[in-house]
Amino acid sequence: HAETIIAAGGVALSKAGVTYVGIGVGAARPTFTFSTSTAATMTISGASISLTNIVAITALDSVVSPFVVSAANVTLGVTHQDTSALIEAVRVVLTTAAADNFTLDLVHQGYTTGNAGVNAVRLVGGRNANINVNYYGIASTAIVEFLTTAVVDAQISGTFYNSGTTNLSKNVVDTQGAGTWSVQ
């Protein structure tokens, strides 16, 4: 399956309790390409949705948030690929405060000389997040950032390579300041 998402809510997953599993391995997995508009998104607003084993490609510079999660008990498993150092996503996943019990398995394949990447994951509130990120690229703020509303009981893990940062200061950043979380 290959699909191009060109607008905000270009794909909207709203039916609660549905599991979507991409069939295939490597490049033979279902591919979603985000292009035409920097607002192009796949929204996940149905509770207890699972979407796994897919590939997302940014085909327009500064796509803001390809995946927006605004429901509880969502599981997302995605490999995200920037097209080049000149064509990158600002972030891959954005959540709202309604995204309690969010599970994410993200592989981010970026470039080390880009300028659009701010973070791979931005959590805006939520409770009991389990975030695994294998990150290669450059993020100006953080690989995982908490913003606006406190994130409660988040567990962050993965392998991080953030070009130009050697002191771990941009791995996880709690911009909001009152979150409770751990990182491995």
Q: Decide: 57 and 81 in contact? Cβ < 8 Å.
A: yes
pLDDT at 17: 98
Look at strands 50-58 and 31-34 and give their pairing.
parallel
Rounded Cα gap, residues 155 and 68, in angstroms: 19
pLDDT at 166: 84
Look at strands 121-123 and 93-95 and give their pairing.
parallel
3-state helix, strand, coil in the chain (%, to 5): 0, 45, 55
pLDDT at 133: 98
62-105 per-position pLDDT tens digit? 999 999 999 999 999 999 999 999 999 999 999 999 999 999 99
Rounded Cα gap, residues 90 and 129, in angstroms: 21
pLDDT at 167: 86
Question: Global pTM?
Answer: 0.96
For each of the chain's 184 residues, which pLDDT tens digit applies? 999 999 999 999 999 999 999 999 999 999 999 999 999 999 999 999 999 999 999 999 999 999 999 999 999 999 999 999 999 999 999 999 999 999 999 999 999 999 999 999 999 999 999 999 999 999 999 999 999 999 999 999 999 999 988 888 999 999 989 999 999 9
pLDDT at 168: 87
pLDDT at 170: 94
* Number of other CB atoms surrounding residue 127 within 10 Å: 16
